[in-house]
Structure formats: structure tokens, C-alpha cells
Amino acid sequence: MIPAPTSSAYMRIRGQPQNGGEPSAARATRESLGLPLHAEQAILDRLLGNEGVSTFDMTGLFEKCSICDRYFIASLLCVHIRGCSLDM
């Protein structure tokens, strides 16, 4: 019988814990922490620093929630909608 590959890549693809230990905890993302993407944060930092931003930079930075009609940073709107839809 041929033994199964034991590389860490194979183990991750197969969904098995590495090194026979417990499955690792899910890695926190900027979204899960309620933080904007790096590009969005850079634009916000420029605005807070009284620097101008281009029309291109502003396009898509904010999006409106169709449930409560408030505006949110585009990448975080989905996080808001999950809670907003439960409140309504």
C-alpha cells in the first residue's frame, strides 16, 4: 500500500490538522475585525489629514445600506447588513 503524502500543503487541502494537533483557529480578517481594507484606510487617513483625494479614490468608498439607508465603508457593508437585517 502506498502511504498518503504528508506535506503540509496536502494536509491543508485535505482539511486535516497539521502535525496531528488540534485544528488551528480561524485567522481574523480585517473584515471580521470591523476594519476597512488597507486601500480604504489610506483614503480615510488622507481625508482625516485634510488632504484631498481623487474622484477615482472616492468612487465606491462608501455604499448605502438598502435596509436602513445609512452609508458605510464599502468593504464593511456586508458586516453591517448581517446585523441590520436582523434588527428590522
- Label residue 1 by pLDDT band (50, 70, 90): low
In a domain, 61, yes or no: yes
Q: Residue 29 and residue 39: Cα distance in Å, rounded?
A: 15
Q: How many domains does the chain have?
A: 1
In a domain, 51, yes or no: yes
Q: What are phi and psi of 71, to 5 degrees?
A: -100, 145
In a domain, 80, yes or no: yes
In a domain, 48, yes or no: yes
Q: Residue 70 and residue 85: Cα distance in Å, rounded?
A: 13
In a domain, 36, yes or no: yes
Q: Tell whether the model's pLDDT for residue 8 goes beyond 70.
A: no
Q: Which domain holds residue 36?
A: 29-87
Give 9-60 pLDDT, tens digit per residue: 544 555 555 555 555 556 666 666 678 889 999 999 999 999 999 999 999 8
Q: Residue 79 and residue 81: Cα distance in Å, rounded?
A: 6
Q: Taking the model in full, what pTM does it have?
A: 0.56
In a domain, 45, yes or no: yes
H-helix or E-strand spanning residue 42: helix 38-48
- Label residue 82 by pLDDT band (50, 70, 90): confident
